[in-house]
Amino acid sequence: MKFYFNTSKFVFTLVGFLLLHACKTTQLNNDRVVASIGQLKLLDIYEIPYNLQYKQTTVGGLSSIDYNKALDEYYFICDDRSNINPARYYTAKIAIKDTHIDTVLFTDVQILKRPDGTNYPNHNSNPKHSTDPESLRYNVIAKNWVWTSEGENAIKGKDTILVDPTITIMDQTGKMLDTFYLPRNLRMTRNNIGPRQNGVIEGMSFGEDYKKLFISLEEPLHEDGPRVDVVDNNTWLRFYQFDVKTKKNTIQYAYKPDPIVYPANPINAFKVNGIPEILNIGNDQFIVVERAYSTGRQKCTVKLFLADARSASDVKDIFSLQSGASFTPMKKTLLLNMDDLPQFIDNVEGITLGPILPNGHRTIILVADNNFSALEESQVFLLEIIP
């Protein structure tokens, strides 16, 4: 999701950290599996310079991050809707020395292609055929990339534009290879059924064996409840599990987001809380990023949760989670509330497992989207997972 607000400019050198207790997960022998999370320790924040130019593109709008351990490189999708440069993704090296980020060096940029091999058009001039990139993951087994677009749901009478979200498979050059099949409740409609504008597929993560792909919605489907508010309004978000081989949705889970922490100022101004990204850590467990913003505040409220789907109901056949049907939602436990940190936290939208520290502990890396604004920051966060 893109939203625009004023922030104060800071230069970060983070030496403090926050420890919070969490649940433990089952041991599995896989690089993408986290055996346990006892505590999280925030080590460092690095800021990518505003308006950085790389290969005739403007670096910004970084809406996701994924780590390729074999090549020790990272992939960032850019949520530019071809308004500044063509829709694209970046490859980068992140040099971590001891417990801090030394440099973030961009090494490649590739343009996302339409089925006919052409670039996506500028959204301002051609919204019906543009794209809205939000998440990107690398498939180690298939050696390809999967990326998501939120689509378009602009109800404007005769000028209404309905474009379904997409889950697209591509090669390294951005060439489209295939797409996943969307279930009916992810199709855009005119009648307040299905996804909301700019609140659709933001989160995505492969299962530990790459046989499953999970996505999450940023905001509730219309039929699953109202937008999140400052009070608990019993609204629900959905997670979707896909079979990577058949590319079809097999299971859906219900997830309850936290209420928005701060009211907007003025009171009726824009405010939101939703899921910008998820990270599967094995055994149907996820680190979930919830990010809230209220007009009148400079920073976002970002929380990391451990979410567990092992005992959750499959709600695929429940049309509305407000219908009174019985179901068991995913369990969630707070890992880290970044509001508790003294540092400024911007619009966090991406999460990945990172390299192993010298002490043997795993790392998590987050990225914040600056929305191409000089008043916001492209932040890269380094966190340590303490078992």
Euclidean distance between CA atoms 289 and 205, whole angstroms: 12
Statement: residue 159 has pLDDT above 60: yes
Asked if residue 51 is part of any domain, the answer here is yes
Tell whether omega for the bond before 266 is within 30 degrees of 0, i.e. cis: yes
Q: For residue range 343-370, what is the model confidence (pLDDT) as tens digits?
A: 999 999 999 999 999 999 999 999 999 9
Domain that holds residue 256: 39-386
How confident is the model at residue 43, as a pLDDT? 98
Asked if residue 28 is part of any domain, the answer here is no
Euclidean distance between CA atoms 112 and 110, whole angstroms: 7
Instruction: Dump the DSSP string for 354-386.
Output: -PPPTTS--EEEEEE--TT-TTS-EEEEEEEEE
Mean pLDDT of 100-125: 98
Strand partners, 285: 282, 308
Euclidean distance between CA atoms 296 and 310, whole angstroms: 39
Asked if residues 348 and 291 have their Cβ atoms less than 8 Å apart, the reply is yes
How confident is the model at residue 28, as a pLDDT? 36
Asked if residue 268 is part of any domain, the answer here is yes
Asked if residue 3 is part of any domain, the answer here is no
Share of the chain above pLDDT 70, in %: 92
Asked if residues 126 and 139 have their Cβ atoms less than 8 Å apart, the reply is no
Asked if residue 132 is part of any domain, the answer here is yes
Asked if residue 202 is part of any domain, the answer here is yes
Euclidean distance between CA atoms 341 and 42, whole angstroms: 9
Statement: residue 338 has pLDDT above 80: yes
Statement: residue 323 has pLDDT above 80: yes
How confident is the model at residue 19, as a pLDDT? 43
Statement: residue 271 has pLDDT above 50: yes
Euclidean distance between CA atoms 361 and 356, whole angstroms: 6
Q: For residue range 52-98, what is the model confidence (pLDDT) as tens digits?
A: 999 999 999 999 999 999 999 999 999 999 999 999 999 999 999 99
Mean pLDDT of 316-323: 98
Tell me what the pLDDT averaged over the chain comes to: 93
| Residue 132: pLDDT band with limits 50, 70, 90 | very high
Asked if residue 250 is part of any domain, the answer here is yes
Asked if residue 70 is part of any domain, the answer here is yes
Euclidean distance between CA atoms 73 and 107, whole angstroms: 9
How confident is the model at residue 293, as a pLDDT? 97
C-alpha triplet 136, 140, 141: angle, nearest 5°: 125
Q: Which of 7-16, 22-31, 306-315 has the lowest mean pLDDT?
A: 7-16
The DSSP letter of residue 201 is E
Question: Residue 381 belongs to a domain with what CATH number?
Answer: 2.115.10
Question: Tokens standing for 204?
Answer: 């995505």
Residue 112, judged by CB atoms within 10 A of its CB (0-12, 13-18, 19+), counts as buried
Share of the chain above pLDDT 90, in %: 88
Statement: residue 14 has pLDDT above 90: no
| Residue 1: pLDDT band with limits 50, 70, 90 | low
Whole-angstrom CA distances from 52 to 26, 59, 106, 183, 220 are 42, 5, 10, 39, 35
Statement: residue 16 has pLDDT above 70: no
Whole-model pTM over 0.85? yes
Count how many domains the chain has: 1
